[in-house]
Structure 1
């Protein structure tokens, strides 16, 4: 790949470490703790609503902490 060498720079390694702790952690928590590994409903509208409500709950938990 043309940009493969960019992933090994000191700056990008630090950014990825930060991303692991912040962004990726949110998605891991939704899958592990909030049942988003699989959807409970069928259809785009119902699944979207489930995801929105889950992320609202996560944001409320963050605000409470």
Structure 2
């Protein structure tokens, strides 16, 4: 076996990365039917988030110099994306709560006196 790998008398030392076993396990899981299905969904979820950050939140180029400032830029962009998700969720819940046709405008929400008059 050694003759096929090397001609050195002491043999050949192979160094593996500290996370090589984890990388091999992740690769094995990715090649299973479940892993293939999840990997296809990546373009619908994670890649879309990266595209949004690139297109709308300045991730095409780093606007600052230095690791700390670029990390702050990335965190601010991620915060903005999360705020947008929360706003969409609140709007959807408001739409469901107030009814499908009325919308979620302040003018559509009855005042306290109107509510009391309705229930009186």
Matched residue count:
62
5 Å matches for 1:29-48?
29-48=52-71
Q: Who wins on radius of gyration, i.e. which is larger?
A: 2
5 Å matches for 1:1-65?
7=31, 9-65=32-88
Higher RCO (C-alpha under 8 Å, 6+ residues apart):
1
Stretches (4+) displaced over 4 A: none
TM-score, normalised on structure 1? 0.77
Q: What's the C-alpha RMSD, in Å, of the aligned pairs? A: 1.9
Shift of 1:54: 0.6
Structure 1 unaligned runs (5+)? none
Shift of 1:20: 1.1
Structure 2 unaligned runs (5+)? 1-23, 89-120
- Measure, in 1, the Cα distance between the counterparts of 2:58 and 2:76: 12
